[in-house]
Amino acid sequence: MKFPNPHTLKQISEIIDCQFIGDANFQVLGMNEIHVVEAGDIVFVDHPKYYDKALESAATIVLINKEVACPEGKALLISNDPFRDFNKLTQHFKPFVSSNSAISPSAKIGKDTIIQPNCFIGNNVVIGDNCIIHSNVSIYDDTVIGNNVIIHAGSILGASAFYYKKRPEGFDQLKSGGRVVIQDYVDIGALCTIDRGVTADTTIGEGSKLDNQIQVGHDTVIGKKCLIASQVGIAGCVIIEDEVTIWGQVGITSGITIGEKAVISAQSGVSKSLDGNKSYFGTPADDFRSKYKEIAAIRKIPEILERLKIK
């Protein structure tokens, strides 16, 4: 998430009331999670296990809960609770703004686009030309939808990320200030839920088709011409490359990549990155040939035990 205007390190420290290390005029351009940071961004880290990853990332401002040596060309914000203060920044730069109408006056809706009754279109939403938005669709603030997109009844675009920090008193949610971006010629079935990015975009690529009742987690990027069947659950920060086919009830864990033109059979559980141009099934999902060999070996166990006379 880029700020509307550049800020100085001192200005940011005053917003969250913390100390800083570095030039007071050090330029701060935005804030992002570790997987999408760029120069000028703030990234937060609150566990020693991830200190090095954050300090060595592309981010040039690190919001951290320990005073450490500041890498050359970077700056630090020292906080006793970086998670809380990252939320403060999201709240400051991207506060929730309520709507007083079903279609916000700030929404931009393209030529020949049809919006059926009982839809909600939030603040600063952009919808392109020749789209059909069926009844009871909710499109949260800042969502961007391309041309020739169809969204079926009951789908929700832009809900908050499922991202929590466990505290003694309960769970503290990381606020979502990102967007959902739907490119041209995408079809989204009924009752799908696509969460907004925490600081960046959750993206559905051009020409991709989603069946009914699909969950897409925060900051996930789905490529072009993908085909995803009903009841698939995709966690946050997943990269699905172009022309991937995912059949029904597949579950995909967070932070992995599925390569171009991969095919994943129904009810598979994907727990690691998968290479492209291969077919997979099972839990954990594996290459068809490897999985068939595994199943064949398992079927031979009773025969082997009988030979060994193990009752």
> Alpha carbon of 164 to those of 33, 75, 161, 307: distances in Å?
14, 26, 9, 53
Domains in the chain and their CATH numbers?
2-93 (3.40.1390.10), 108-291 (2.160.10.10)
- Say whether 218 is catalytic: yes
Alpha helices, H only, the chain: 9-16, 51-55, 82-93, 288-299, 301-307
For residue 53, give both structure tokens: 């990853």
For residue 163, give both structure tokens: 């991202």
What residue has token string 């981010």?
59
Which of the residue ranges 168-172, 193-197, 283-287 would you say has the lowest mean pLDDT? 283-287
pLDDT at 302: 83
Q: What is the pLDDT of residues 78-116, one digit of tens each?
A: 999 999 999 999 999 999 999 999 999 999 999 999 999
Calpha distance 248→243 (Å, rounded): 16
Helix (H) or strand (E) holding 78: strand 75-78
Kindly name the residue from 7, 134, 152, 218 that is annotated as catalytic: 218
Calpha distance 155→133 (Å, rounded): 10
Least Cα distance to 199 among 287, 271, 94 occurs for: 94
**Residue 15: φ, ψ to 5°:** -60, -40
This prediction's pTM: 0.92
Q: What is the pLDDT of residues 28-46, one digit of tens each?
A: 999 999 989 999 999 999 9
What number of H helices and E strands is found in the chain?
5, 34
Sign of CA dihedral 97, 102, 105, 107: positive
